[in-house]
Structure 1
Amino acid sequence: MQLKEKAPGIYYGWIVVFLTFLTLLVSAGIRSMPSILMLPFSTEFGWSRGSISGVISVGIFLYGLTGPFAAALLQKFGIRRVVVISLAVLAGSLAVTPLMTSLWQFEILWGLVSGLATGMMANVLGVTVSNQWFVHRRGLVVGLLTASAATGQLLFLPLLAKITVEFGWRYAIFTSVAALVIVMIVVAIWFRNHPHEVGLAPYGTDKVAPPVPFTGNIFLTPIKALLSALKNKTFWLLAGTFFFCGFSTNGLIGTHLIPACGDFGIPEVTAAGLLALMGLFDLVGTTLSGWLSDRYDNRKLLFIYYGLRGLSLMFLPYALDAGPTMLLIFSIFYGLDWIATVPPTVKLAAQEFGKENSGMIFGWIVVAHQVGASAAAYGAGVMRDWLGSYSTPFIIAGLVCLLAALMSMRIAKASTNLTVAGVSK
């Protein structure tokens, strides 16, 4: 029996997009918390920034590594079931966090459990939803869902930073758990996996048909997809540029901007506000990037995005030293470009590997992104302990972004001769 849940004049897929946006928003807000917790943990537990950064690095890496397998799980068991379970696990790990007393406990809760749980709600989730529900406007949908990460920072970071400063970090954790529980209930009630469940066709078509069942092994199929993709030059270029993307965004700025501001006497709440401002402008920039990816050469878009990001990162050490006005300029300029690279990368992956395979292949590209982020999260913390400054990591990140810009133009236009995991495009 098919559910008839079509709101008059509203395609139900947009409701699903909203629920996915909400899920990714909260998940992103949780992932951004370590940047707020680094200084309180250093004070309360005596852990060095390098040690805390190591835990964050593991979580970032597992967040990315989960992606390809999450794509298979989402297809095998349905998006709603996987998301609800992931939200429950994440809420449980956060609820136990105030009881920890040792670094190894932090490693398990935030490095292992949180990394795996949030990995199920990564960019692969947005790609899967857009592929299931949309044929037209797919780039726009990916842009919107990607931008939810920035919006999560916009809403959560200043609030959680204020709670941490005024009441302590444990109350910030409790607030996050409450938000996760609310989202879990909403998703369980209203989310639908596929247009066929509500008697609809994907947006942009008239054909109402059930989804193609996933028949592969949830562990072996992503690995087979990777082995096939490794033979493809475009995969290496997309993964390479995305490595530098992660190196220069959530691994570096997302993790270390607040501590870097602290080195210059900028209060934690103010620094969190700068990240939130970046989130506001990235919401605009990434959504616009999704719109542009449907209309222009995505390789050229990546060239522009990486080039501008590289210049902004090399400007950051000067901005920190120069004061609030320069930091504000950096936040706006960098924010517009924070993760605008995702929609063109998704589009290029879909063109090269086909819609059915693009979720898993993009999942492996995200692994490269998170390896880069993990390296930056740990490396920048260690370099700060050694050198007493974040200037060198910021300059290095700017230079590798310029390299990524050049790599983007080496990506070939879509080919039609690749078979991934035994399935031809």
Structure 2
Amino acid sequence: MAAVAGAAIVTAGAFTTVPGLLVTPLHQEYGWERGQIALAASVNMVLFGLTAPFAAALMDRIGARRVVMGALLLVASGALLTGVMTRPWQLVAYWGVLIGLGSGCLTMTFAAGLTARWFDRRRSLVTGALSSASHLGQLLFLPLLARSVDHHGWRPPVVTLALVALAVAALVFLLLRDHPAEAGVKPYGATEFVPKPPPAAGAAVRTLKVLLRAARTGPFWLLAGVFALCGASTNGIMWSNWAPAAHDHGMRATAAASLLSLIGIFSALGALPAGWLTDRFDPRRVLTVCFAVRALTLLALPLVFTSTITVPMLLFVTVYGLVDVATVPPVIELARRVYGEDGPVVFGWTNAAHQLGAGASAFLGATARDAFGSYDVVWAALAAGCLVAALLAPAVRMRGHTCRPGASGRGYPSQS
């Protein structure tokens, strides 16, 4: 079950970085502005974040197998339609809406639900492995896709990804089960057989109620603001604008994709010590350090960006990558400490803010490149945003975390 879930998450992860490879080819073939092309990536990221909380509720209602299959069919359809588009709005509709909705169902909410049902022991190990699966999608596909774009144009790799999604959808249909009881087995490590629970009703309503309660508190807006700045300074700018920024400096697409893959490797590595540090120190301090280091790397990027892969560039990739996903464990822990059992749902909405920030960064970054002729002002602005996030993190109050799910807003802290 973990392997099948990982295959689905890997496939979704591969789709997230492709828009960056399409910016320059589409600009050259159709004459579309970079901002028009980046708008599709922006819509994709926003829907990716907003879909996740409701996808989790839908999985509780009709089962993960149906939702995952539907999600993979959506991303495959969006990719195939992208191959025959002729207008910018079609790119937004196909890559932004269809693939955004589909990939939004294949996030950590899916991984968390699967591990909770299928694993009694080693749950955190499996969750950690699945959380790295999205980055694995970048590592496996991105350099190959970039090489294909260089030699065969942008359409063949897009169609290839669609076929991969269809193949994984077939794998999900054949192998994935919603609960161990369907296969007649116990959860891994469990001593007793666990019957399958009835379909959950009202999960989506509770998701909205938690949002409304949390939105009346200061810590929620601090966490959402910090995580929005996180999304803007990581996947928002990198997934859709890294390749065209490298192209501006004369770097080949294959080399740029290799560097982005290395960032993915160090991101996966950085999440482990970040979790260890969060268990032992104030998570607010961990967040502050991560954002401060990220700000310094973004300020240094224009100074080390060249047409070739140099030692300073590799140093940037290493340090930036290590603090890329390192912000996730402390934000999850802060949500738990402040909102108790509602913490996971609150984190889901905080992650939606992350994707809103990412979507804004993808669009505004490309628009700024069109307006100023380079990305230098973008790196400086994002570095300033990271410094703001570093200052906001210590302001989150970690009180009121004993509130019950469904309790009134009085159980939450009322201000930051």
User: TM-score of the superposition, structure 2-length normalised?
Assistant: 0.89
Comparing 396-405 with 60-69, greater Cα deviation is found at: 396-405
Matches within 5 A, 1:88-103: 88-103=73-88
The 1-side partners of 2:339 and 2:196 are apart by 19
Aligned to 1:337: 323
CA change 1:313–1:142 in 2 (3 A) is farther
Aligned to 1:83: 68
Aligned to 2:314: 328
What is the SS of the residue equivalent to 2:83?
helix
Q: Deviations over 1:205-232 (max 9, x none)?
A: 6565446556444553322121012133
Comparing 284-293 with 202-211, greater Cα deviation is found at: 202-211
1:140–1:294 contact (8 Å) kept in structure 2 = no
Q: CA deviation at 1:123?
A: 2.9
CA change 1:211–1:346 in 2 (3 A) is farther
Comparing 284-293 with 40-49, greater Cα deviation is found at: 284-293
Matched, 1:120 2:105: yes
Aligned to 1:107: 92
Q: CA deviation at 1:340?
A: 2.2
Aligned to 1:174: 159
Q: CA deviation at 1:249?
A: 0.7
Q: Which runs of 5+ in 1 are unaligned?
A: 1-15
The letter for the 2-side match of 1:19 is V
Alignment counterpart, residue 272 of structure 1, candidates 234, 257, 260: 257
CA change 1:291–1:24 in 2 (3 A) is farther
Matches within 5 A, 1:318-397: 318-321=303-306, 324-325=309-310, 326-355=312-341, 357-397=342-382
Comparing 141-150 with 266-275, greater Cα deviation is found at: 141-150
CA change 1:295–1:207 in 2 (3 A) is farther
Q: Which runs of 5+ in 2 are unaligned?
A: none
Aligned to 2:244: 259
Matched, 1:410 2:395: yes
2:265–2:321 contact (8 Å) kept in structure 1 = yes
Matched, 1:31 2:31: no
CA change 1:358–1:120 in 2 (3 A) is farther
Aligned to 1:71: 56
CA change 1:33–1:282 in 2 (3 A) is same
Matches within 5 A, 1:228-307: 228-294=213-279, 296-307=281-292
Comparing 332-341 with 318-327, greater Cα deviation is found at: 318-327
Comparing 345-354 with 23-32, greater Cα deviation is found at: 345-354
Q: CA deviation at 1:291?
A: 4.9
Alignment counterpart, residue 150 of structure 2, candidates 156, 165, 182: 165
1:124–1:362 contact (8 Å) kept in structure 2 = no
CA change 1:192–1:293 in 2 (3 A) is farther
Matched, 1:152 2:137: yes
Comparing 139-148 with 236-245, greater Cα deviation is found at: 139-148
The letter for the 2-side match of 1:159 is L
CA change 1:331–1:283 in 2 (3 A) is same
Q: CA deviation at 1:415?
A: 3.4
2:74–2:101 contact (8 Å) kept in structure 1 = no
Aligned length in residues: 409
CA change 1:134–1:315 in 2 (3 A) is farther
Q: Deviations over 1:7-59 (max 9, x none)?
A: xxxxxxxxx33332222111011111000011111111110101111221111
2:77–2:98 contact (8 Å) kept in structure 1 = no
CA change 1:92–1:387 in 2 (3 A) is same
The 1-side partners of 2:292 and 2:131 are apart by 20
The 2-side partners of 1:267 and 1:393 are apart by 21
Matched, 1:314 2:303: no
The 2-side partners of 1:126 and 1:279 are apart by 19
Aligned to 1:10: none
1:68–1:359 contact (8 Å) kept in structure 2 = no
The 1-side partners of 2:297 and 2:224 are apart by 22
Q: Deviations over 1:82-121 (max 9, x none)?
A: 1111111211221222111111111110111111111111
Comparing 234-243 with 94-103, greater Cα deviation is found at: 234-243
2:8–2:168 contact (8 Å) kept in structure 1 = yes
CA change 1:406–1:283 in 2 (3 A) is same
The 2-side partners of 1:395 and 1:194 are apart by 48
The letter for the 2-side match of 1:191 is L
The letter for the 1-side match of 2:375 is Y
The 2-side partners of 1:377 and 1:138 are apart by 34
1:228–1:421 contact (8 Å) kept in structure 2 = no
Identity, % of aligned pairs?
36
Comparing 314-323 with 239-248, greater Cα deviation is found at: 314-323
CA change 1:409–1:201 in 2 (3 A) is farther
2:224–2:353 contact (8 Å) kept in structure 1 = yes
What is the SS of the residue equivalent to 1:114?
helix
The 2-side partners of 1:233 and 1:253 are apart by 30
Q: CA deviation at 1:413?
A: 3.2
The 2-side partners of 1:31 and 1:392 are apart by 24
Aligned to 1:193: 178
Task: Give the superposed CA RMSD.
Answer: 2.6
2:228–2:355 contact (8 Å) kept in structure 1 = yes
Aligned to 2:210: 225
2:19–2:239 contact (8 Å) kept in structure 1 = no
CA change 1:140–1:290 in 2 (3 A) is farther
2:271–2:322 contact (8 Å) kept in structure 1 = yes
User: TM-score of the superposition, structure 1-length normalised?
Assistant: 0.87
1:146–1:286 contact (8 Å) kept in structure 2 = no
1:242–1:365 contact (8 Å) kept in structure 2 = yes
